[in-house]
Each structure stands twice: as C-alpha cells, then as structure tokens.
Amino acid sequence: MKKIGIVSIERTINTNILSFDEMYASVGMNTGNFMFTEAVYRQLNADTQCIGFSYNPEKANKELDHIVIPAANWINSYSDWGWLCDILEKTHIPVTVVGLGIQNDNNNIDNFQASVSSIRLAKILSQKSPLISVRGQVTKSYLQNLGIKNSIVTGCPSLYMRLDDYKNSIDKRESIVIQSTRYGMSKKFLQEDSINNSLFAICKKLDADMVLQSEIEEIMILVKQDSEARDISDNVLNYLSELYGFERRSDFFDFLRQRCRVFFDVNHWSNFLRDRYGVIGTRLHGAIIALNSGVPALLIPHDSRTSEMANFAGIPTLAASEAASLNTLEGAKEKLSHADVKKFQATRARNGIIYRSFLTACNLPYREEALF
C-alpha cells in the first residue's frame, strides 16, 4: 500500500493534557481546520501518517512515496511561508496540495498582492505535482496571472467527505445554530459595524446555539473552565458580555455554558448539528459540515475565500444585510427553509467527478465509499 505523509495538524486533540495555548495552537487556532484535514485522511486509500508541518525532508524522501498537503487560505498578504518552501525544495518525492486558496477582502484580484513567500510556495507546489487543487475560480485566475497554469478548481476536500450516519433524536430540538468569525476579543471588534459583530447578539436574541471555532476566550472558558480562564481580563469579559447583549456577566457565562459548543471531532460536530434545525453564519466549514450532515445551512460570504467557495460549490448563501435584520427564531427558520440544499447536493455530485479526476491525475488512490 502506498505510504503517504500528510502535512497537517493532528487528527485528534487531547484537551485534558495540553495547556490552552498548546491546544489552541495545535488546531491552527480554528477547529474548522479539522474539516479539510480529516477529509483528506478519510478519502485517501493509503497508509497515511501525519508528518506535521516541519517534517524532515530527507526522512520523507527515504520512507514515503508521496506527500499531501491539505491547505486553506494560504495565499495572502501576511503569511511567511519561507520555512515551508525551504523544506519543500529539499523534498524529492511527489507533493500534492489540496484546496489551496487566496485570502482577500473581496473577489477583485486586480489590486491583490500576495506575500513574496506565498507566491514562492504556490510556484514550488506547481512544480511538485501534475495539478494543484484550488478552492475556486478567483484563486485559479490569480495563479494564472502568476504564470501557474496547472491548477484545477476542486473546492475544499471537506465538500466531498461523507460523515457517519447518525439518526436524529426522537425529540428534535427546534434550535438553530449561529456561527460568527472572531479570534481575540477587543474593544475595536466590539465597536465594529460588521456582520461578524452582529451575529453574537443575534444568537442571544434568538436563543440559538453557537458553534465556536476560533473565539479564543469562549473556548478557553468552556474547555479549561476556571483553571486557565482566570487569565481573561475583566475588560475583555465586559466586552464579551456586551457583544452578546448581556448586562450582567453572570448571564453571559450562563448562556455560554448552555448554548455554546466547540468540537474537536467532526463526527461529534455532525451529530450535534443533526439535532438542530439549521445553521446560519459566516463560517465556511460550519456550513459545509451541516450540509454534508443533511442539515440546511446558509453561509454569509464575507471575503473572497467564502465567496469563491460558495460560488463553486453551490452553497446556499444569505446576504449580510438580511442576516443582520434577523429578529425572531421564526424569521431565521423561514430563511433556512428556502436554502437550496438540493442545488448544493447536485453541484457536489458534479464537482465530485472533477475531484476524483484530480486525485487520479496525481496518482493518489482514494476510497470511493468515503466520498460523496
């Protein structure tokens, strides 16, 4: 069986033995990374092993047949990929990247300028494999402008990941799930007039559930409780309470523990969603895991990364202006009832043919049963 090294985060995280900082770093500061990472492991019909990001190229050349890199919005203006480029240049076995994308505020790439190392990374990857898998047409066009002609739009590998077939609970909850996008909490974020700011208050207003992915303070409180959460300053806790719309900090803590969740396993995440009415938010992978679980979802595109994926994959979307005006649970359910899930499923089936052809062209054996 082919031996493939995966450049990725670990598939499982033991939150009990790691400090919060270690845990947060180990998931790449976003649990959505589990989605595309786990998808690749499940889909490849090979002897796969996680080799991490700082793998030994000499050891890989001797012991592996192929390296696969599940990627994300790595072509951007701020990342320094020089260290990875140096490793890749010493790697002489095939290297295939899956799901590479650009990060830009909008879909206009005319004035977009990636960092020097992002461009270097893309060019090296284009030389290591017959094809580069990219997330959407915006990324493909940008790479073409750089002279990279061997990219193919497949979207994210998570689009094609089959999930365990859990059954809904007998008493299916009527709650919906809201997801926003935030990392650290600050006064600046609190004062922003943005959809990502508004969604936290909407969650509280609708008494909805929230799945957290990168919201560092809430995740720390939920995972570490009092042991490390004491390090969060009073100012930040006050900002959080106000962000969600609570006058008393104790009410914010109650809501957080009753309504907010963070998952370190995609099956547990999927199972939770199957007991919910639907998902609305700006989280790309939050929408994908819902749709792959048979649960309606509406993605609110807020940058080029989410827009190009939604366009390619047929992910149902909701304009930020419509989401910001959600005032009732019934209104949110009405929006979700119009999500064109069948279009997404049909698009996924068509794009799945492209994805399989990409894997074949790159000499990557796959498990048919793991793919939509």
Task: Please give the pLDDT value at position 107.
Answer: 64
pLDDT in tens, 126-137: 999 999 999 999
Q: Average pLDDT, stretch 114-140?
A: 96
Percent of the chain with pLDDT over 70: 95
| Contacts of 237 by beta carbon, 8 Å cutoff, 6+ apart | 217, 249, 252
Measure the CA angle with vertex 345, ends 341 and 347; round to 5°.
115
Is the pLDDT at 228 greater than 60? The verdict is no
Task: Please give the pLDDT value at position 111.
Answer: 80
Q: How confident is the model at residue 227 (pLDDT cuts 50, 70, 90)?
A: low
- Per-residue DSSP letters for 53-84? SS--HHHHHHH-SEEEEE--S-BSSS---HHH
Q: How confident is the model at residue 167 (pLDDT cuts 50, 70, 90)?
A: low
Q: How confident is the model at residue 53 (pLDDT cuts 50, 70, 90)?
A: very high
Domain range list for the chain:
3-161+348-370, 177-339
Cβ atoms of 286 and 210 within 8 Å: the answer is: no
pLDDT in tens, 1-30: 999 999 999 998 888 888 888 999 999 999
Q: Average pLDDT, stretch 59-75?
A: 97
| One fold for 3-161+348-370 and 177-339 | yes
pLDDT in tens, 296-308: 999 999 877 788 9
The architecture that CATH gives domain 3-161+348-370 is 3-Layer(aba) Sandwich (3.40)
Torsional class of 220: left (φ above 0), alpha (ψ -120 to 50), beta (otherwise): alpha
Percent of the chain with pLDDT over 90: 86
Query: Does 18 or 45 have the greater pLDDT score?
Result: 45
Looking at CATH, the fold of the domain delimited by 177-339 is given as Rossmann fold (3.40.50)
